[in-house]
Amino acid sequence: MTSGANAPRSTAAADGASMMGDAVRLAQAGDLRAFESVYRAHVTAVYALCRRMVGDDSEARDLVQDIFVRAWEKFASFRGESSLATWLHRLGVNVILEHLRTSRRDALRFADDPVDDVPAHGASAAERIDARLDLDAAIARLPSGARIVLVLHDLHGYSHDEIARLTGIAPGTSRAQLWRARRHLMRMLDR
Amino acid sequence: MTHITEDERQGLADGTLDADGTAAAVAHLAQCDACAADVTQLRTLMHQLHDSPPPSSPNDSAIEELWTTIRARIEARKVVELSAAPPTHVAAVTRSGHWHVWRVAAAVVAVAAAGVVAIVQFHSRPVTTAAGSPASASPAASAQPALLQASDSSRAYQQQVQQLLDEIEMQRAMLGPTTTAVADSDLSAIDQAIAELRAALLRDPNNAALRQLLATSYQQKLDLLKRLNNAS
Amino acid sequence: MPPSPTTRAASRCGAGLALPMLAAATALLALGTGARAQQPLIRARVLAANAPVKIFFPTGSIRVDAWDRDSIEVRGRVARGEHFYLAGDAHGIKLGILDHPDGILVRPSDIVLRVPRASQISVKSVSATITATGVSGWFYSVSGAIHLSGRARTVEVESLAGDVDLGVIASWVRARTGDGRLVVRGAPEDLDAATVRGPLDVESAGVVRGRFASVQGDIRFAGAPAANGVFEFSNHSGAVNLVLPRTVSATLDLSSITGSIENNFTQLRPVASAPAGGATLHLQLGAGGPHVTVRTFRGLIRVGSR
Ligand SMILES: [Zn+2]
């Protein structure tokens, strides 16, 4: 878990191809069809990020839309210093956090709510069996603050300082959240 | 025997514990089955997380459907950017792909341009005042990208404000009359400032100081609404 | 310590929490004399050094002091008929006075807390006076006054209608009031302070990056800007008053859209700006260094020395 390694783990292979380089330049110049090919090359990775960060499929799809619309608008600011996948990933994280900040008031500030425990709806036996089978389902059931930190830290390699900067919580809180998230997961995965 | 701390367990599992700490903790694990088992479980989880495949992606038709909506939203936005009329109803596509009428003040969209940069940066913590310096507000330098950003953030802003207002409306009764009166006066003070700044910008659209002031007023309003929203 | 440290009672909603706490609080209250309007209260718990402490304290007075122990202590008096709760474990505590679900006003209580210096505090109050020393976190009041002092990492203070007084030394401070007065002393390195109609008064030599804003309140800044500092002042109709040391080194960019600028520092006169009136003034004082930007719509900008 080193800091600075916040590129998505599954960097799209298409990124390096020169064909994609052309598409990027065209899209930056305002060519929507070129942008479409950028969308197709990256939608899977962007969706995966959203799905894990918010834990809900339809919310994730809405966010995929938001991220690509935002990407289109900010495309001029993509200078190729990082890979396109990394740029989209960062933009995506920002869009998602912004969304969570407004849609789940205090989700980040009170991410560390010490008394709240595993979500109430995670209680039924059927769901518990489900969760045991599926790590993603378990991640989805984490309280949102804990989930955000876990996804960013354990799946995408962000440091606590970076998470603190992005979310506004203290690095110590991020650490506490992460531990709590892992303990929750262990319990849900029945270990 | 004192067991190792949660700090040490987690640090051992993900390898962030320093060398001295690791040595001491490992020594404890050698004689304590309970802690050893716990750390092993945490490590297994770490491996599982690390090796987990990404969540299954949407199928082809979902990918098509998403693109259709994204394209529609991008194109709807172009309409907003280009129109320079006074506040009107502008059709825009919402997130779920339905057409919906938003009360979008097109003039504001164009005018808020440079300010938006500041609004976006305002959220990042801690504050970096330097980033919102007059240089970034130079209209000549950043007219095009700023315009593009403006439409998005301005819409996002309107949405956010409306959402907060809706929530506050429901909580009004709980705030008490004195607080409500104070908040109303504060809100109208900000709204009045925004109106004056917008009018001034229409007369002098390239005034960077005006744009910054407008951006600050927008941020003030958002701040106040969030504060109000926290009150109950 | 048992090998599995996270075995907390699951209680997600307020009701789940309220029930056992109600019982505990009732038991505690039953010990009181019953004759006084307030019941004495003493509680203590082990608490990890950087654990979160979430407090809801509607009315009365609450004081939070940092200490160098790994525990939390609560002392005070709880108004008769009100219920004090404290829940959580060594990794985090939630405490306060329960709100009445039926909307009946909560009677004022007074408590004093001591918490580990590194704890992450969040205090939310309606009309209580909040006083805190040496602690970091979020402090919110609808209409009560907030006073913070001592050394902290980060501090965030928000009030709708109350006054806020900050005398903290911290790396990051964000403060907001509505019509209340906001006073900042001490040495916040990164300071973001704003009011809507209330006056904003800053007297500090320690600010390195500052953002100050109001809509109608007057802003007054007195101090020596740090050599590498960046300061930004915005006001709509309120004034901005800069009181700087006579020997200050700074670059000042002042502009008022329709208001005026008073330079009591040098002989330089502001430039009248077209088309709406107003004025701008660029001042290079001493060797330059910190950069100060002031923008108002019609508020007066005044620069002078002590
Ligand atoms: Zn042990």
Are A124 and A151 in the same domain? yes
Q: For residue C103, what pLDDT is reported?
A: 63
In this prediction, residues B135-151 reach a mean pLDDT of 36
B119 CA to middle of ligand 1, Å?
Answer: 51
Q: Determine, for residues B213 and C297 on separate chains, whether the beta-carbon distance falls below 8 Å.
A: yes
Domain assignment present for B169: yes
Domain assignment present for A1: no
Optimal mutation site among C1, C143, C236, interface B, most CBs of chain B within 10 A? C236
Q: Is A72 on the interface with B (CB under 8 A)?
A: yes
Domain assignment present for A132: yes
Q: For residue C214, what pLDDT is reported?
A: 98
Are A111 and A187 in the same domain? yes
Share of chain C above pLDDT 90, in %: 60
**Contact predicate B160/B226, CB 8 Å:** no
Are B110 and B38 in the same domain? no
Domain assignment present for B84: yes
Are B123 and B198 in the same domain? yes
Name the domain boundary from A43, A69, A103: A103
Q: Strand, helix or coil at C158? A: strand
**Contact predicate C135/C117, CB 8 Å:** yes
Q: Determine, for residues C11 and A117 on separate chains, whether the beta-carbon distance falls below 8 Å.
A: yes
Residue of A nearest to C87 (CA): A115
Domain assignment present for A53: yes
Q: How far apart (Å, rounded) are the C-alpha atoms in residues B97 and B79?
A: 17
Domain assignment present for B220: yes
Nearest to B126 among C124, C172, C293 (CB): C172
Domain assignment present for B140: yes
Domain assignment present for A65: yes
Domain assignment present for A137: yes
In this prediction, residues C203-212 reach a mean pLDDT of 88
Q: How far apart (Å, rounded) are the C-alpha atoms in residues C223 and C202?
A: 8
Nearest Cα to C282, choosing from C290, C274, C294?
C294
Are B87 and B188 in the same domain? yes
Q: Sign of torsion, CA A156 C174 A111 B160?
A: negative
The number of domains in chain A is 2
Q: E-strand spans in C180-239?
A: 182-184, 187-194, 200-203, 209-213, 219-222, 230-235
Q: Is B203 on the interface with A (CB under 8 A)?
A: no
Share of chain C above pLDDT 70, in %: 86
Q: Identify all chain B residues contacting C282, using CB atoms and an 8 Å cutoff.
A: none
Q: For residue C65, what pLDDT is reported?
A: 97
Q: For residue B196, what pLDDT is reported?
A: 93
Nearest 5°: phi and psi at B213? -65, -40
Quote the ipTM score: 0.83
Lowest mean pLDDT of A51-60, A160-169, B14-23, B82-91, name the range: B82-91
Name the domain boundary from A103, A132, A166: A103
Distance to chain B for A155, nearest Cα, Å:
6
Residues 6 or more apart in contact with residue B109 via CB below 8 angstroms: B80, B81, B150, B151, B154, B155
- The chains found to touch A (3+ Cβ pairs under 8 angstroms) are B, C
Q: Which of the residue ranges A38-47, B85-94, B213-222 has the most confident prediction, judged by mean pLDDT?
A: A38-47
Are A72 and A112 in the same domain? no
Are A42 and A121 in the same domain? no
Angle at A152 between CA A148 and CA A156, to 5 degrees: 150
Are A94 and A134 in the same domain? no
The residue written with tokens 């059709």 in the block is: B91
**Contact predicate C144/C126, CB 8 Å:** yes
Domain assignment present for A183: yes
Scanning A164-183 for CB atoms below 8 A from B yields 165, 168, 178-179, 182
pLDDT at A110 > cutoff 90: no
User: Which strand (E) or helix (H) includes residue B3?
Assistant: none
Domain assignment present for B215: yes
Q: How far apart (Å, rounded) are the C-alpha atoms in residues B161 and B167?
A: 10
Are A60 and A92 in the same domain? yes
Q: Which amino acid is present at B57?
A: S
Task: Kindly indicate the confidence band of residue C111, based on its pLDDT and cuts at 50, 70 and 90.
Answer: very high
Lowest mean pLDDT of A158-167, B13-22, B188-197, C21-30, name the range: C21-30
Domain assignment present for B37: yes
Q: How far apart (Å, rounded) are the C-alpha atoms in residues C139 and C123?
A: 5
Q: Identify all chain A residues contacting C88, using CB atoms and an 8 Å cutoff.
A: 114-115
A173 CA to middle of ligand 1, Å?
Answer: 25
Distance to chain A for B10, nearest Cα, Å:
7
Averaged pLDDT of chain B:
68
Structural domain including B13 reads 6-51
Domain assignment present for C31: yes
Averaged pLDDT of chain C:
85
Are A34 and A74 in the same domain? yes
Q: Identify all chain B residues contacting C3, using CB atoms and an 8 Å cutoff.
A: 3, 32, 34-35, 37-38
In this prediction, residues B61-90 reach a mean pLDDT of 65
Domain assignment present for B62: no
Dump pLDDT digits (tens) for B15-64: 888 989 899 999 999 999 999 999 999 999 998 888 888 787 888 889 99
Task: Kindly indicate the confidence band of residue B77, based on its pLDDT and cuts at 50, 70 and 90.
Answer: low
In this prediction, residues A151-179 reach a mean pLDDT of 89
Task: Kindly indicate the confidence band of residue C255, based on its pLDDT and cuts at 50, 70 and 90.
Answer: very high
Lowest mean pLDDT of A68-82, A173-187, B162-176, C189-203, name the range: B162-176
Q: Determine, for residues A115 and C91 on separate chains, whether the beta-carbon distance falls below 8 Å.
A: no
Strand duo C71-79 + C109-116: pairing: antiparallel
Lowest mean pLDDT of B28-32, B71-75, B150-154, C40-44, name the range: B150-154
Q: How far apart (Å, rounded) are the C-alpha atoms in residues A182 and A177?
A: 9
Q: Determine, for residues A117 and C54 on separate chains, whether the beta-carbon distance falls below 8 Å.
A: no
Q: Which residues of A96-132 are buried (b: 16+ CB within 10 A; e: fewer)?
A: bbbbbbbeebebbbbbbbbbbbbbeebeeeebbeebe
The number of domains in chain B is 2
Domain assignment present for C279: no
Q: How far apart (Å, rounded) are the C-alpha atoms in residues C65 and C132?
A: 6
Strand partners, C97: C84
Domain assignment present for B67: no
Q: For residue A104, what pLDDT is reported?
A: 60
Are A87 and A147 in the same domain? no
Q: For residue B170, what pLDDT is reported?
A: 57
C2 CA to middle of ligand 1, Å?
Answer: 8
Are A155 and A188 in the same domain? yes
**Contact predicate C188/C204, CB 8 Å:** yes
Nearest Cα to C84, choosing from C116, C105, C58?
C58
Strand partners, C71: C46
Q: Determine, for residues B45 and A77 on separate chains, whether the beta-carbon distance falls below 8 Å.
A: no
Scanning B23-62 for CB atoms below 8 A from C yields 32, 34-35, 37-38
Optimal mutation site among C8, C53, C115, C136, interface A, most CBs of chain A within 10 A? C8
What angle, 0 to 180 degrees and rounded to 10, lies between the N-to-C axes of helices B33-51 and B19-31? 120
Q: Is B45 on the interface with A (CB under 8 A)?
A: yes
Per-residue DSSP letter, A152: I
Task: Kindly indicate the confidence band of residue A17, based on its pLDDT and cuts at 50, 70 and 90.
Answer: very low
Q: For residue C9, what pLDDT is reported?
A: 35
Share of chain A above pLDDT 70, in %: 71
Are B33 and B91 in the same domain? no
Nearest to B126 among C190, C234, C295 (CB): C190
Are B183 and B83 in the same domain? yes
Are B32 and B127 in the same domain? no
pLDDT at C225 > cutoff 70: yes
Structural domain including A75 reads 19-103
The residue written with tokens 């008053």 in the block is: C241
In this prediction, residues A115-143 reach a mean pLDDT of 55
pLDDT at C36 > cutoff 80: no
In this prediction, residues A20-28 reach a mean pLDDT of 75
Domain assignment present for A179: yes
Q: For residue A189, what pLDDT is reported?
A: 79
Q: Determine, for residues B220 and C275 on separate chains, whether the beta-carbon distance falls below 8 Å.
A: no
Q: How far apart (Å, rounded) are the C-alpha atoms in residues C131 and A1?
A: 39
* Count of CB atoms situated within 10 Å of the CB of A21: 13
pLDDT at B99 > cutoff 70: no
Averaged pLDDT of chain A:
75
Give me the CATH number covering residue A77. 1.10.1740.10
pLDDT at B86 > cutoff 90: no
Q: CA-CA distances (angstroms) from residue B213 to A23, C257, C280?
A: 38, 10, 15
Are A33 and A99 in the same domain? yes
Q: For residue C276, what pLDDT is reported?
A: 61
Scanning A107-146 for CB atoms below 8 A from C yields 109-110, 112-120
In this prediction, residues C34-54 reach a mean pLDDT of 80
Nearest Cα to C38, choosing from C127, C86, C95, C107?
C107
C89 CA to middle of ligand 1, Å?
Answer: 20
Q: How far apart (Å, rounded) are the C-alpha atoms in residues C297 and C273?
A: 13
Task: Kindly indicate the confidence band of residue C125, based on its pLDDT and cuts at 50, 70 and 90.
Answer: very high
Q: Determine, for residues A191 and B45 on separate chains, whether the beta-carbon distance falls below 8 Å.
A: yes
- Interface size A-B, in CB pairs within 8 Å, comes to 104
Nearest Cα to B186, choosing from C242, C175, C176?
C176
Lowest mean pLDDT of B97-111, C198-212, C249-263, name the range: B97-111
pLDDT at B142 > cutoff 70: no
The number of domains in chain C is 1
Give me the CATH number covering residue A124. 1.10.10.10
pLDDT at C300 > cutoff 80: yes
Q: How far apart (Å, rounded) are the C-alpha atoms in residues A179 and B6?
A: 8
Dump pLDDT digits (tens) for C20-29: 444 444 444 4
pLDDT at B136 > cutoff 50: no
Task: Kindly indicate the confidence band of residue B78, based on its pLDDT and cuts at 50, 70 and 90.
Answer: low
pLDDT at C105 > cutoff 90: no
Q: Determine, for residues C17 and A115 on separate chains, whether the beta-carbon distance falls below 8 Å.
A: yes
Name the domain boundary from A41, A72, A103: A103
Q: Chain-centre distance of CA A33, in angstroms?
A: 26
Are B141 and B214 in the same domain? yes
pLDDT at B152 > cutoff 80: no
Domain assignment present for C14: yes
pLDDT at A29 > cutoff 80: no
Q: CA-CA distances (angstroms) from residue A185 to A9, A142, C52?
A: 21, 8, 21
Nearest Cα to A144, choosing from A188, A113, A166?
A113
Domain assignment present for A10: no
**Contact predicate B229/B168, CB 8 Å:** yes
Structural domain including C32 reads 5-36
Q: Determine, for residues A105 and B229 on separate chains, whether the beta-carbon distance falls below 8 Å.
A: yes
What angle, 0 to 180 degrees and rounded to 10, lies between the N-to-C axes of helices B113-123 and B208-230? 40
Domain assignment present for C22: yes
Q: How far apart (Å, rounded) are the C-alpha atoms in residues A27 and B197?
A: 35
Task: Kindly indicate the confidence band of residue C208, based on its pLDDT and cuts at 50, 70 and 90.
Answer: confident
Q: Determine, for residues C153 and A170 on separate chains, whether the beta-carbon distance falls below 8 Å.
A: yes
Task: Kindly indicate the confidence band of residue A106, based on its pLDDT and cuts at 50, 70 and 90.
Answer: very low
**Contact predicate C246/C306, CB 8 Å:** yes
Are B163 and B227 in the same domain? yes
pLDDT at B147 > cutoff 70: no
Distance to chain C for A23, nearest Cα, Å:
40
**Helices assigned H by DSSP within chain C:** 14-30
Q: Identify all chain C residues contacting B203, using CB atoms and an 8 Å cutoff.
A: 275-276
Q: Is B183 on the interface with C (CB under 8 A)?
A: yes
